[in-house]
A and B are shown apart, each in its own frame.
Chain A
């Protein structure tokens, strides 16, 4: 056989690299803005499109799917071609993938500030964009598997296993977590409700971290680190064990996000047990990475790319140790809903994802342009700015998390809550939030420095758009002369589709064991007779609550701790959420839990609080919501919303959709009348009336008859 000449497509790698840098700066700038809003509410700009609740998801989507997403594709498109000794399957598909992904991100940038959100964390985008994501992901898959099929290297290196697992698992997660019933072009309801919705969401949320922020990056680590250090990976055996254990275990750990909620106890414990087990494969990867540098540590002193990689691996090790620790119920009881979780996430995001991306960019861009990096000094300055930024971010957030978590639980000698006013605990940690923003600014400053450095590098030379290469083609018929070649894993390494199917089975086992019982066994979600569907006005109010992103700061699940039942009221029961499409339990308490807020304050209190929170809670950092008073409630959607809920099994009576708006008007008039009696003149057709109706309903279904309510066990 003769050597075949071909070229690698470097242009698509460069394009994804550029998109990584640009979206990184945008996403982190929005992050800095939301960080500042938490100590200076004026930064919300009194504008509905820039309030925390709407742009916090913009930040998370931009950094996860735009910054990290483009970085993944950059790394995959570069390494896949070289590991397989083949150009990407189709240049057209590469372009569709690139531009399609950027369009999805632009759609997110437009729709999220406008308030179009599903409210599922890290899956906020509405159904048409979900479909677009699916299509683009399929294009990516065809392009990847097409390249694998036309490869000139018989065996698939471990990095490619991680890419395949990423592709198949993200596809499964995205599809299962996107079962929504559309009611209009940009509004839908999840088909799951309450506890089941929570389980699906956190199965997705946790594994989005696993298979979007971790496995593709491990694949990139297994390719780029040996290249940078110019030595093979420390242990190939460890990489195999690490790979299979990681993808098997990760998928089970999602319920650790729902400890002490009304999720069935066995599912919570399953999440805890597998989270602890997860330390082993995670650290297997970290150790394999760090030991790859054995004998090359002297290079770390001079080579900035290796510096970034070492910090990235260390951050990965820290985050993956901390994650399992946080899943222990005793620690989770204090840490959950606090800034501790924000710190944990950012050690992973800034350290592992950010620094690995920067290391790869600094290594890759000069090679794509066949030149040298414009300034090593600038890169070194970036490294230190970024490292300091991570420290200034994480340490104050840990401090804030400890402080607030303990303050929530502290009782006086007389047995009363020491800090009964939630706001006291928020104000206590404001200085930590200022320091966090400084950390974020340092980190962002480093990224801007990198952008200048890489731009100068690119401008100083010409892109090698089509890099020449040559390799022997694969024989059409493979004869296994070595008996070892017939072993199952060796066969799998040569058969990408079988490999994908096997990986999918592995990840489906965990998901199914967790979800099937919760979905099929009635006793796992005890029903409560007094829990009724929301009224039409409350349903509309709930959708405004979702639109404004209130769930980003307020949880709706009271945990069974004395400190919480004293503060909020009866702990939450699974049966209370059966009509909640979607669930709104939240994951962070920047403000207090709202599950039992119904009836706690007057309508007038809520009105004044939404208009100007500081008027009711001096010092509050909640944004103002004056537009809820000026904007008219859109009641044209009521009938379709009721019909959608009926389709999903919510027991509204037959024909209620036609009567819903007149019911809505009666309830709205009564709230407006009550406000009027308190000297607040507001028309009954305003959005604020619906929000007040919803807030006043929250948690009231079981207040009257506590004794007849089944516990979560």
Chain B
């Protein structure tokens, strides 16, 4: 098990560093999301359906 990421003839450094870089980045984005303002999120979610689309005749009826 895990042979593919353990047995790399010295290449582990690249793999572990890469995973660490990602973990740090992921945690930063995660932290930001936890602190995100709810009103802002609601505003952003509404953006596509709030634009002034002209309806098709069918929708007007």
Contacts and interface: CB of A to CB of B under 8 A. Distances in A.
Contact of B44 (A85, A236, A510, A713): A236
Contact of A241 (B30, B35, B44, B58): B30
Contact of A82 (B18, B29, B35, B51): B51
A668 B22 CA distance: 55
Nearest to A363: B56
Contact of A245 (B26, B46, B53): B26
Contacts of B48: 79, 82-83, 157, 159, 222-223, 226-227, 232-233
Given A241-B33, A371-B57, A157 B47 contact: yes
Interface string B15-29: 101110110011001
Contact of B49 (A231, A265, A484, A490): A231
Contacts of A490: 40
B5 interface: yes
Contacts of B44: 155, 157-158, 236
Interface residues of B, number: 39
Interface residues of A, number: 59
Interface string B31-54: 011011100110111111101111
Given A237-B33, A266-B11, A487-B32, A470 B22 contact: no
A270 interface: yes
Contact of B9 (A159, A226, A713): A713
A272 B49 CA distance: 39
Given A245-B26, A266-B14, A372-B58, A83 B49 contact: no
Nearest to B9: A713
B52 to A, nearest CB: 5
Given A233-B45, A244-B29, A367-B54, A482 B8 contact: no
Contacts of B53: 82, 227, 367
Contact of B37 (A85, A269, A482): A482
A490 B35 CA distance: 12
Contacts of B57: 370-372
Nearest to A372: B58
A371 B8 contact: no
B48 to A, nearest CB: 5
Contacts of B26: 245, 248
A712 B36 CA distance: 49
A631 to B, nearest CB: 47
A509 B18 CA distance: 9
Contacts of B30: 241
Nearest to B19: A273
A270 B15 contact: yes
Contacts of B12: 266
A509 B8 contact: no
Contact of A232 (B5, B18, B46): B46
Contacts of B58: 372
A277 interface: yes
A244 B46 CA distance: 21
Contacts of A249: 22
Most chain B CB within a 10 A radius of its CB, from A85, A233, A236, A488: A236
Interface string A187-230: 00000000000000000000000000000000000110011001
A329 interface: yes
B13 to A, nearest CB: 8
A264 interface: yes
A226 B51 CA distance: 12
Nearest to A328: B4
Given A227-B48, A227-B49, A467 B37 contact: no
B21 to A, nearest CB: 6
A265 B5 CA distance: 9
Contact of B18 (A227, A241, A252): A252
A232 B43 CA distance: 10
B32 A489 contact: yes
B56 A270 contact: no
B52 A470 contact: yes
Contacts of A240: 29, 32-33, 36
B14 A265 contact: no
Given A249-B22, A370-B57, A372-B58, A264 B45 contact: no
A83 B47 contact: yes
A371 B56 contact: yes
B29 A241 contact: yes
A664 to B, nearest CB: 42
Given A244-B29, A269-B4, A484-B37, A230 B49 contact: yes
Interface in A237-283: 237, 240-241, 244-245, 248-249, 252, 264-267, 269-270, 272-274, 277
Contacts of B10: 266
A464 B17 contact: no
Contacts of B22: 248-249, 274, 277
B18 A270 contact: yes
Nearest to A277: B22
Contacts of A45: none
A336 B22 CA distance: 28
B40 A484 contact: yes
Nearest to B37: A484
Nearest to B14: A266
Contacts of B21: 509, 513
Contacts of B5: 269, 272-273
A469 interface: yes
B54 A513 contact: no
A233 B48 CA distance: 9
Contacts of A157: 44, 47-48
B56 to A, nearest CB: 5
22 contacts: A79-B48, A83-B47, A83-B51, A155-B43, A157-B48, A159-B48, A226-B49, A227-B48, A241-B29, A244-B25, A244-B29, A245-B26, A265-B8, A266-B15, A270-B14, A272-B4, A272-B5, A367-B56, A489-B32, A510-B18, A517-B14, A713-B9
Given A266-B11, A269-B15, 16 more contacts: A82-B48, A83-B47, A83-B51, A155-B47, A226-B48, A231-B49, A240-B29, A241-B30, A248-B22, A269-B4, A273-B5, A273-B19, A366-B56, A370-B56, A490-B40, A506-B25
